[in-house]
Each structure stands twice: as structure tokens, then as C-alpha cells.
Amino acid sequence: MDAGEIIDQIKIKIEKNETAKTLNDKFLKLYPRILIKNIDLILNNKHKKITQDASKATYCCKRTPSDGKIIFIIHQIQLCD
């Protein structure tokens, strides 16, 4: 989804009942914290850059609000895998 260099990362727990919307909501809460942590470093060109390993890259289509909808005829285990 993004081929640029990595400046920072945060691990989050993905719940079994997670949807694209709930996951995005978690990220929206974290964005300000990671930006505040790194903005001065970026502006002063003192941030660390990690080059992504292209061999481990994955690709995705554009996400839309309907991606957060659950099709209830699919078993819960299939949704999480």
C-alpha cells in the first residue's frame, strides 16, 4: 500500500471481531501521537529511515466504507483469516 521508507511503526492488537472501520479508527487515534513524536526529527532531517523489503511487499485495492461491512453468512473464523 505504501512503498516509501519507514520512519516509525506502532504495533496494535487486531481483535477477532475487527473490521476495516474499527481498525482504521484505532489508527486514527494513533496518528497524532506518532506524528508529534517524529515531526521535529523529520523537519530537521534527523529521522531514521528504514528501507522496506520489496520482496515482502503486499498489494491491496483501494479501501472503501463498504469494506467495514460484515457478511454474516461467512463463518467468523474465515473473516479473521
pLDDT at 76: 60
Rounded distance, CA 33 to CA 9, Å?
11
pLDDT, one tens digit per residue, over 13-23 is: 888 888 888 98
Predicted TM-score of the model (pTM): 0.53
Domain ranges of the chain: 20-80
